[in-house]
Amino acid sequence: QVQLVESGGGLVQPGGSLRLSCLASRSIFSIVAMGWYRQAPGKQRELVAGITNGGSARYADSVKGRFTISRDNAKNTVYLQMNSLKPEDTGVYYCNTDPVLADHWGQGTQVTVSS
């Protein structure tokens, strides 16, 4: 089955930056839209950024202008460059298709923004 592996999270101070990576195990990745989802304690999981197979991106209002999503189809990898991080960005970040087509979630990567 398809495997999704997120990496790159960590503890960062407000205003700092992180770059997340998501590796997919199947070449089908190259023809589907992908997204990054964030889940904070007590909150529903939300799409923060999405990118089509052709490279068209969309963002949640809360991250627009600060985050950039990109993909490398040859590597079956999608990235999320996160700049000017705020405490409100704290949560577990997951990648999956956009929209979600199957309940196949990886372990996610924890992002904590704190002084």
Residue type (1 letter), 114 = S
Question: Does residue 1 register a pLDDT over 80?
Answer: no
pLDDT digits (tens, 9 = 90+) for 35-92: 999 999 899 999 999 999 999 999 999 999 999 999 999 899 999 999 999 999 999 9
* Inter-residue contact 80 to 36 (CB < 8 Å): yes
- Give the number of other CB atoms < 10 A from CB of residue 81: 15
Over residues 7-14, the mean pLDDT reads: 98
pLDDT digits (tens, 9 = 90+) for 63-78: 999 999 999 998 999 9
Among 18, 45, 44, 21, which Cα is nearest to 34's? 21
